[in-house]
Amino acid sequence: EEVPDAVIPAASKKITSISSPLRAIVRLRRRYRGLKKSRLHLELPREKPAEFVHTRLLQRQLSLSRTSLYSPSMSFFNQSGFESSQYFTFDTSVEHYSVKKCRRKKSRRKSRMVLYPDKTKKYLPAEEKSKAKRCLLLLIAIIFFQILNAIENLDDNLQKYDLDGLEKTMQREVFGQKVAVEGIVELLKDYLATHIHNKPLVISLNGPTGVGKSHVGWVLAKHFRSVMDNDFVLQYFVMHHCPSGVAPLSCEIDLAKKISDMVTRAEIEEKTPLFILDEVELMSPVLLDTLSRFFEPNQTNEFLNAIYILISNLGGAEITKFVIQNASTELLQQQRGAEELQSIIQPVLVGVHPLWKAADIIPFVLLEKSHVIDCFLEQMRREGLYPDQKHIENLANQLSYYTTGDKQYSRMGCKQVVAKVNLL
């Protein structure tokens, strides 16, 4: 079938009008692919310029309008393919979302590189332990064991000297001196708890005659001889060891030698010697000066570990007066009464000699009639006699008393009890 000549130019014009836009679109498509490939190899800016985005949107609109007019059968220009693209869309939120996602991925990757530059070090650095803290803990442990050791030594010393047994014995055998016995035992416990001291223990037993001072000294000597050894207990009676006819200088040398030898032996065996000095009021000033040198704190260690018991009637008149004036009260059976008596007696003793400044004073009060009866009972048991209560009361009535109110205090204490029992 032959086509007229007039129809051919019209068809060629129509093909030409269609191929020109098609070639333009192809060129744009190729250019887009090249830009896309170059963007994958080169790091483009994170954010696209506004003019570039606007140009891309206009180009997509133009391509869609042309393809809908001419060739709907062209697969690579169909609308579904362009709608799936994230670069050519009218929804700017998609572009913004892709930019934010790209930023987040890059920032996360960068943070991982900062935190863990090397794959082999994906852990926190080890914390260094302080050496000062270790030293502090070691020091605390050493102090704790030292305190524990000191407590154990304290218990061992108290058990070694059996001070609980001494207290029970004194409470059973010493009558009417409850406060004095408690004071003596308390001083001994505090001193014998350790073997390290800064001064010797000096206890002064003061009171009227017959109230039990010498008996307490005898009980202390007997007890310490039983728990230690006879070589570490010295009973010194002035009238026996230094009679009136002997020169004071020789007595001084003898007493100093006895004390020095005993404390030296006791220090070697880690024991505390006991010196019981009775009738101290009869000592000459030379002997008192000798004793005062042993009581000083600035001495060698062996002379600091010693116990001195001074027994005397000094201050007896002041104690008798105080007891009679306070007979109606319970002050004598309280610690407060003992403290008041100490404040009264100490100036009197210091006036005799300054050595009493270093002494702990224990006052012995007057004995009541009931205490004298107890002394008779105890002495008769020792002699093996039957303790007849009526006969004992008759013997007690033969003694002289201070009478104040409804109470009677013995003038001589239990001094005459032994003589009366021996006459039976």
What are 330's two structure tokens? 């319970």
Helices of type H across 228-385 = 238-241, 248-268, 285-294, 301-304, 316-325, 335-352, 369-383
What are the DSSP E strand ranges found in 159-225?
201-206
- What are φ and ψ of residue 277, in 5° steps? -110, 105
Collapsing DSSP to helix, strand or coil, 302 comes out as helix
- For the ranges 54-63, 205-214, 373-382, the lowest mean pLDDT is seen at 54-63
Tell me the two tokens of residue 267.
């220090």
According to CATH, the topology of domain 176-366 is Rossmann fold (3.40.50)
* Beta bridge pairs of residue 234: 275
Q: How confident is the model at residue 124 (pLDDT cuts 50, 70, 90)?
A: low
Q: How far is it, in rounded angstroms, from Cα 135 to Cα 407? A: 68
The predicted pLDDT at position 70 comes to 47
Residue 2: pLDDT band with limits 50, 70, 90? very low
What is the per-residue pLDDT for 167? 92
147 or 91, greater pLDDT: 147
Contact 212, 251 (CB under 8 A): no
More confident residue, 147 or 87: 147
- Report yes or no: 349 and 315 within 8 Å, Cβ to Cβ: yes
Chain-wide mean pLDDT for the chain?
78
Please give the torsion angle defined by the CA atoms of residues 30, 35, 37 and 39, in that order, rounded to the nearest 10 degrees.
-170
Tell which residue, 338, 337, 307, has the closest CA to residue 189. 307
In the chain, % of residues over pLDDT 70: 71
Of the candidate ranges 156-160, 168-172, 223-227, the one whose mean pLDDT is the lowest: 156-160
Mean pLDDT check: name the lowest of 252-266, 306-320, 332-346. Answer: 332-346
- Is the Cβ–Cβ distance between 341 and 326 less than 8 Å? no
Mean pLDDT is lowest, of 113-117, 183-187, 310-314, for 113-117
pLDDT of amino acid 50: 59
Give the pLDDT band (50/70/90) at residue 61.
low
pLDDT in tens, 13-50: 556 666 777 888 888 888 888 887 777 655 444 445 55
pLDDT at 267 over 80: yes
C-alpha span between 166 and 145 (Å, rounded): 31
Tokens of 302: 């062996």
The domain segmentation of the chain, as residue ranges, is: 176-366, 372-422
CA 265 to chain centre: 37
Q: Is the pLDDT of residue 318 over 50?
A: yes
Query: CA 79, CA 64: separation in Å to the nearest integer?
Result: 7
Cα–Cα dist 269/266, whole Å? 5
The vertex-397 CA angle with 396 and 398, nearest 5°, equals 90
What's the CA gap between 332 and 366, in Å, rounded? Answer: 10
Please report which confidence band the pLDDT of residue 202 belongs to, taking 50, 70 and 90 as the band edges: very high
Cα(362)–Cα(56) distance, integer angstroms: 116
Higher pLDDT, 310 or 72: 310
**Where is average pLDDT lowest: 23-37, 54-68, 162-176, 282-296?**
54-68
Q: Are strands 274-278 and 360-363 parallel, antiparallel or unpaired?
A: unpaired
